[in-house]
Structure 1
């Protein structure tokens, strides 16, 4: 009974192997036929088989619908069988993608419009062809969605002050998502943040009020420092009356040098007393 149970499994396995051999055999026949056509039409056919791949391009070759190699072909000259092979060229140069303004509601419920720039390149041509239909469109749409998602978790102040950190977080998210597409995101830049006009006016009024407050504080501190300096000067002059008279005369000299006018000033009392005493003594 056990042998009878094992027979269907063996027959099934043999059937699969036979199918596989038959499939391989058909492919081999088609490839051999393609080589034969190239040989009998040589050297004319060689010009149809030769394809030139530029330095910044790679070719993903399909043979009977299957990718021929895990690595893309090129640059240089590659040979393509006319009947069984097809190929897709992939540009490996860096691509610049402008993200149009996205309307975003920030964490603190402020509606803003933010645009940006995305720089990326294809590092695996095979993955870019085999894993996604249109790699450039998919990357562009993913960048838009990621920009809206990340900025929606930030407040307006964080958005205005931390653009570089936000750009790095967007780049990390995009790299993790596009790795299977053969895409490497080089840089993400947040260009412009547009806020409503009413919000701009409110922010400008708040900034102006803050500047006025700072100016008043600075002026008050200056007046306090000046009053302290005058107080110290008065204390020094009070200890020396002669210095006070000298300052008085110096001020008069300064005024006389600037204005051509006659200055009448009183004679100090102590000088009058001294003169009176001398006249009485004489």
Structure 2
């Protein structure tokens, strides 16, 4: 029966973390372990200060005995016992950590230079993977985040970066989470904090936005003039049907002028009368 390659890979990764008790440490290794335990017993109770360690609730300890990981899993929280001469351990913090991505100068797809920075929140899920599979998991995660940010934004236009920041951050989050899984790291959240543009580009975008606003204002003013002309046309048709309404409108206009304490009174003349005078003069 064929065994899937994924199963073989997982099995191989587990076999790499065999503990000292099951692994073959050789005769020399057993001699060193026995001597270390014998010296610890002789020097008791002074050796207790070197053998007993405290692991906090949010920490896990990866213990190496003669270079092998003990029991294939992390130890803690609480008290743990180690042999001073043969054991050493590394504490791993399991709390959520964060780091700021330094400002990255990026050339976008439409050849615009911009500077973008962000922040990444992550935590260590597997203490053994974070110690055994990568030299410095925190530095590696930071470097990968910077590279991923530059690669993703390099394929985007400036308008898409400004309008689709959440979608871009989600893509970066997915890539980082998949890449750091083998390191025992879980990326919780990625955010783009600031997008900085050159001063000339800011001025050009401001001029463009101002021109668009002016064009919209002119369109709105033209629509208002058109609606006002239609309303005046309808009003004139109503006044033409009733001469008394024209007279009332004239008196109302005089009342409005007089209410402003103005000594000047304008008497409008009918256009028909002026046309009659022009015909007689000819």
**In which range does the TM-score fall when normalised by the shorter chain?**
0.7 to 0.9
The equivalent position to 2:83 in structure 1, one of 60, 81, 84, is 81
Q: Measure, in 2, the Cα distance between the counterparts of 1:241 and 1:172.
A: 78
1:49-60 → structure 2 map (5 Å cutoff): 49-60=51-62
1:90-129 → structure 2 map (5 Å cutoff): 90-129=92-131
Q: Measure, in 1, the Cα distance between the counterparts of 2:23 and 2:127.
A: 31
The residue number in structure 2 matching 1:250 is 252
The residue number in structure 2 matching 1:161 is 163
Q: How much does 1:26 deviate?
A: 4.2
Aligned residues: 249
Q: How much does 1:71 deviate?
A: 2.1
The equivalent position to 1:189 in structure 2, one of 188, 191, 206, is 191
1:260-275 → structure 2 map (5 Å cutoff): 261=263, 263=265
**Is 1:236 equivalent to 2:233 in the alignment?**
no
Q: Measure, in 2, the Cα distance between the counterparts of 1:186 and 1:207.
A: 37
Task: Give me the CA root mean square deviation.
Answer: 2.3
So what's the TM-score if we normalise by structure 2?
Answer: 0.81
Q: Measure, in 2, the Cα distance between the counterparts of 1:262 and 1:232.
A: 30
**Is 1:174 equivalent to 2:179 in the alignment?**
no
Q: Measure, in 2, the Cα distance between the counterparts of 1:98 and 1:267.
A: 78
Q: Measure, in 2, the Cα distance between the counterparts of 1:233 and 1:109.
A: 57
Q: Structure 2: where are the runs of 5+ without partners?
A: 1-21, 271-282
When residues 222 and 171 of structure 1 are mapped into structure 2, their CA distance, relative to the original with a 3 A threshold, is same
Aligned partner of residue 44 in structure 1, secondary structure: coil
When residues 169 and 53 of structure 1 are mapped into structure 2, their CA distance, relative to the original with a 3 A threshold, is same
The residue number in structure 2 matching 1:219 is 221
Q: Structure 1: where are the runs of 5+ without partners?
A: 1-19, 269-282
The residue number in structure 2 matching 1:47 is 49
Aligned partner of residue 192 in structure 1, secondary structure: strand
Aligned partner of residue 82 in structure 1, secondary structure: coil
The residue number in structure 1 matching 2:133 is 131
So what's the TM-score if we normalise by structure 1?
Answer: 0.81
Q: How much does 1:24 deviate?
A: 4.6
Determine which structure has more spread, i.e. the larger CA radius of gyration: 1
The residue number in structure 1 matching 2:146 is 144
Aligned partner of residue 69 in structure 1, secondary structure: helix
Deviating beyond 6 angstroms after TM superposition, the runs of 4 or more aligned structure 1 residues are none
Q: How much does 1:44 deviate?
A: 2.7
More helix by share: 1
